């Protein structure tokens, strides 16, 4: 599996135009009493590396910081602004495109920057650069939740049963499972469709929500394998589709 950081520039010149290049990104932010601050980018990096092992593609260095101000009350959390994130990641994609990699896939494992990566993908499209966005939880179906997680999947979104299970599979030595606390609620309390709080500390005093105590390594192994298969399918689609077709609009008048 070629890592961009390990190549010489002549090797990069030869391999970059083959694309797509995977860029793992996440955050450095609290994930409750039981998961490490690096949970998001650790998951993203392993996902990208495992897919690269299977089908061969370049993996760029992991971006470990993200838009995480909603967790700023918890020590250790580091965050950057929406504008800084889009500028930084956008410049990386432009740099790669300058050397022939006009197809890039952002393997994003932090939900807090979903809107930012979608916005950035639209901006880069106008520059003739395709930025694909893959988020491992988006491919999970209700049937998968039912079969793998059961009732524990009902609540969550941060430091929950799914993230904890994947952590138990990918980095078990960093998971303090005995310290996990269940909190049966979903992200951000609402009243009649309106959000009443935007900071995690307001509704999750331990930093996590859902049922992390129900997590097992087997759940995480199954989930990671499912995510790897989904990313591989997406990557193959991007690889075989021409840049022109990836970028073209389909407005008919």
Which tens digits make up the pLDDT trace of 112-139?
999 999 999 999 999 999 999 999 999 9
Contact status, residue 204 vs residue 158, Cβ threshold 8 Å: yes
Strand partners, 107: 24, 134
> Under 8 Å CB-to-CB from 107, ≥6 apart: which residues?
22, 23, 24, 25, 44, 47, 48, 134, 231
- Looking at the domain assignment, is residue 226 inside a domain? yes
Q: According to the model, what pLDDT value does residue 253 have?
A: 67
> What residues make up the domain containing 80?
4-247
- pLDDT in the model for residue 155: 81
Examine the pLDDT at 226 and tell me if it is beyond 70: yes
Confidence at residue 186, expressed as pLDDT on a 0 to 100 scale? 72
- The string of pLDDT tens digits covering residues 18-51 is 989 999 999 999 999 999 999 999 999 999 999 9
Beta strands of 96-195 (E only): which ranges?
103-108, 130-134, 190-191, 194-195
Higher pLDDT, 242 or 19: 242
Alpha helices in 16-160 (DSSP H): 39-55, 82-98, 114-125, 142-144
Counted domains in the chain: 1
Classify residue 94: in a domain, yes or no.
yes
Average pLDDT, the chain: 94
Per-residue pLDDT, averaged over 209-226, amounts to 97
**142-200 pLDDT, tens digit each:** 999 999 999 999 887 899 999 999 999 999 999 999 999 998 877 777 777 787 778 99
Q: Does 253 map to a domain?
A: no
- H-run or E-run covering 165: helix 161-170
- What pLDDT is stored for residue 154 in this prediction? 85
Q: Do strands 190-191 and 194-195 pair parallel, antiparallel, or not at all (unpaired)?
A: antiparallel
pLDDT, position 1: 62
Residue 252 lies in a domain: no
pLDDT at 64 over 70: yes
The verdict on residue 224 lying in a domain is: yes
The predicted model gives 231-251 an average pLDDT of 93
% of the chain beyond a pLDDT of 90: 87
62, pLDDT greater than 80:
yes
Helix (H) or strand (E) holding 228: helix 217-240
DSSP 145: I
Q: Is the pTM of this model over 0.85?
A: yes
**Residue 202: inside a domain, yes or no?**
yes
The CATH number assigned to the domain holding 132 equals 3.40.50.10310
Residue 232, classified by CB atoms within 10 Å of its CB into exposed (0-12), middle (13-18) or buried (19+), is middle
């Amino acid at each position: 599996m070629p890592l961009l950081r390990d190549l010489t520039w002549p090797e990069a010149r030869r391999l970059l135009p083959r694309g797509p290049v995977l860029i793992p990104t996440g955050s450095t932010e609290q994930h409750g009493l039981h998961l490490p601050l690096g949970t998001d980018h650790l998951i993203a990096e392993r996902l990208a590396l495992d897919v690269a092992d299977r089908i061969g593609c370049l993996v760029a260095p992991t971006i470990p910081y993200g838009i995480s101000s909603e967790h700023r009350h918890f020590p250790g959390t580091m965050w950057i602004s929406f504008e800084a994130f889009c500028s930084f990641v956008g410049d990386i994609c432009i740099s790669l495109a300058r050397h022939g990699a006009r197809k890039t896939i952002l393997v994003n494992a932090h939900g807090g920057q979903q809107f930012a990566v979608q916005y950035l993908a639209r901006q880069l499209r106008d520059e003739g650069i395709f930025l694909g966005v893959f988020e491992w939880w988006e491919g999970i179906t209700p049937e998968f939740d039912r079969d793998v997680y059961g009732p524990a999947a009902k609540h969550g979104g941060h430091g929950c049963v799914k993230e904890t299970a994947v952590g138990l599979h990918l980095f078990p030595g960093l998971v303090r499972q005995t310290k996990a606390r269940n909190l049966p609620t979903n992200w951000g309390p609402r009243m009649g469709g309106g959000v009443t709080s935007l900071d995690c500390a307001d509704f999750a005093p331990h930093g996590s929500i859902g049922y992390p105590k129900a997590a097992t390594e087997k759940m995480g192994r199954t989930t990671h394998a499912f995510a790897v298969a989904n990313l591989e399918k997406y990557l193959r689609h991007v690889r075989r589709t021409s840049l022109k077709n990836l970028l073209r609009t389909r407005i008919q008048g």
